[in-house]
Amino acid sequence: MIINETLRTLKQRRSIRSFRDEQIKEEELQAVLEAGLYAPNAGDQAWHFTVIQNKELLDRLNLAAKEGAKQLDIEGLEEMANNEQYNCLYGAPTLIIVSGKQAPIPLEADCAAATQNLLLAAESIGLGSCWIYFVIFAFYSPLGPELSKELKIPEGYKPYYSAVLGYKQDSVVNVPVRKPNLITYIR
């Protein structure tokens, strides 16, 4: 089997939900953001990254996300939204929101590719990361428009995805066995 550094990073990346308190280094953040900018896209790089490292604002986003989740009638979300202990950002010191330009052809896939690049870059330099969708519910809350303005989300852009970054609390991460029969060959 072929193995190299890229394939090794792909296989070892896991969603981290337990972070140390210390903030990541600026050079690490810039490396991750640059990787996001190099994601494949069909929309002429019509994405925008918003980096949040302010603890008070991160806490407010967590609460707003819970309020937004309560507004939606989606099974399972209500329990998470009503759990006072639940922090959708898992205490990570950095959050990157990936917004996409609203266009006739949806650019969600472009934003997803950029988010994946952020996660892989984080793993490749030893940072923990987790793709977080729950925080996007903050923009469905009554505070959504105000948050978009405060976070300087560009006009005509919509937050689609986000990722948290930080130093892993634990150095050992469980790697689950991959499910069988997920590939069909037609040759």
> Which pLDDT does position 178 carry in this prediction?
86
**Distance, CA of 136 to CA of 89 (rounded, Å):** 11
SS3 74: coil
Q: Is the pLDDT of residue 72 over 90?
A: no
Distance from C-alpha of 131 to C-alpha of 104, rounded to nearest angstrom = 26
Q: Residue 94: is its pLDDT beyond 80?
A: yes
Give residue-wise pLDDT tens across range 1-34.
899 999 999 999 999 999 999 999 999 999 999 9
Q: Which residues contact 68 (CB under 8 A, 6 or more apart)?
A: 137, 138, 139, 140, 141, 144
| Strand ranges across the sheet with 157-166 | 47-52, 94-101, 157-166, 128-131
Paired strand residues for 95: 52, 164
What share of the chain in percent tops pLDDT 70? 100
pLDDT of amino acid 74: 86
- In the prediction, which pLDDT does 171 show? 77
Euclidean distance between CA atoms 127 and 118, whole angstroms: 11
- pLDDT at residue 176 in the model: 81
Per-residue confidence band for 172, with pLDDT thresholds at 50, 70 and 90: confident
Please give the mean pLDDT across all residues of the chain.
Answer: 94
pLDDT score of 121:
98
Contacts of residue 31, defined as CB under 8 A and 6 or more positions apart, other chains included, come to 121, 125
Yes or no: domain 5-166 corresponds to CATH 3.40.109.10: yes
The residue extents of the domains of the chain are 5-166
Alpha helices (H) along the chain:
5-12, 26-37, 55-71, 77-82, 108-124, 144-150
